Amino acid sequence: MKRLIASFRYAGQGLRNVCQSEANFRIHLAASLVVIILGYVFDIATLEWVAISLSIGLVMSMECLNSAIEYLADFVSPHKHTQIKKVKDAAAAAVLVTALAAAVVGLCIFAPKIWVLF
């Protein structure tokens, strides 16, 4: 049980570190809060909440993985190196692809609801 509690503590520390040191994580966190508020304002359906929750979880997870890859790459090679740049760029691209997919989910859910207001 101690190991389980410790693993949650380590995960919490990692989340706190990423939140404190990565501006893009904080931007995605703010966007997530806006989407959650919009979900309540528009009273979205249960399956829409599932899609939104999974999208937010995936984007935030990818941000954490991207940060971990960047931290490791900087540790392994603190100097500029073309291969390390490729690794970092690929990790950043994964976040971008996930964020774009999440934006599509958001548009599919919220665009029709916003459209009827006009």
Binding-site sequence positions: 3, 10, 22, 63, 70, 88-89
Active-site choice (25, 60, 63, 84): 63
Binding-site residue ranges for ATP:
3, 10, 22, 70, 88-89
Is position 63 annotated as part of the catalytic site?
yes
Measured CA to CA, the distance from residue 102 to residue 118 in angstroms comes to: 24
Binding-site residue ranges for a divalent metal cation:
22, 70
Cite the DSSP H helix spans in 1-118: 2-21, 23-41, 46-76, 82-115
Measured CA to CA, the distance from residue 33 to residue 36 in angstroms comes to: 5
Measured CA to CA, the distance from residue 57 to residue 11 in angstroms comes to: 15
**Phi, psi (rounded to 5 degrees) for 81:** -150, 135
Residue 47: CB atoms within 10 Å: 9
Residues designated catalytic: 63
